[in-house]
Structure 1
């Protein structure tokens, strides 16, 4: 059986990505290796960022976090320079960067490497 899961994100510039995750998200890597970083959250979850020329090519959500206060988190991130995406597509429209669905509300932004990051609050 699988024991855990974690996300792996691409970065064209690993130093730039590390700066963004530190400055905007207040996250620092638990491990720094040649060509990749490992981040570990207090929850026990982890994700990696690795250097590759493929960064920024995905058009889908690549990592998502859950928070108890989406509005507060968005305010905090905006003060750190994060810009939230706006969507108006069939089945989803954002208002001030937030899409409200039956059981959650979510907001998306891109990191410096073009990865789509989602922050959600369960309702």
Structure 2
């Protein structure tokens, strides 16, 4: 293996795992509020697929603090997505960002973010973001690169 190949871990796929103390409640939230249905189900978890990526909600006795973004979607039109989710009963967080991200505050659930690293374009970018919690307290985000 040469340096260009990276480590074996760097060649592995990354998959997000979100804890749920009540898997049935989480399934209802993801279906009713987010419009998502599991692609696969097992006794201890639900597997979702979105645009070629996947995440799992798994049964856990522990809970997330919900104090940070655990997973986010990158979208083309954040206003449309926020409006759709609000129409489904999702409540968005209102807060300020740390100075490293411009110190901006959300307005109607959406904030302008400086220094965002997007999987769609290289380097720090300007973006817009919004955050909400799922039924299990996991903090989920939505981002849109704007330049």
User: Which residues of 2 match residues 75-90 of structure 1 at below 5 A?
Assistant: 75-90=83-98
Unpaired runs of 5+ residues, structure 2, are 1-7, 115-125
1:48 has 2:56 as partner: yes
* Alignment correspondent of 1:97: 109
Deviations 1:84-108 (A, max 9, x none): 0000354231111111023100000
2:38 to 29, 40, 44: 29
CA distance in 1, matches of 2:139, 2:108: 17
* Alignment correspondent of 1:17: 26
Q: Please, what TM-score do these two structures have when normalized by structure 1? A: 0.93
Supply the RMSD in Å over aligned alpha carbons.
1.3
1:118 has 2:141 as partner: yes
CA distance in 1, matches of 2:63, 2:27: 14
8 Å Cα contact 2:66-2:133 kept in structure 1: no
Looking at CA atoms only, which structure, 1 or 2, has the larger radius of gyration? Answer: 2
> After TM superposition, where is structure 1 displaced by more than 3 Å over at least 4 residues in a row?
none
CA distance in 2, matches of 1:14, 1:23: 14
CA distance in 1, matches of 2:48, 2:97: 33
1:39 to 44, 48, 72: 48
Q: What is the number of residues matched between the two proteins?
A: 122
8 Å Cα contact 2:36-2:48 kept in structure 1: yes
1:60 has 2:56 as partner: no
CA distance in 1, matches of 2:44, 2:38: 13
Bigger relative CO (Cα 8 Å, ≥ 6 apart)? 1
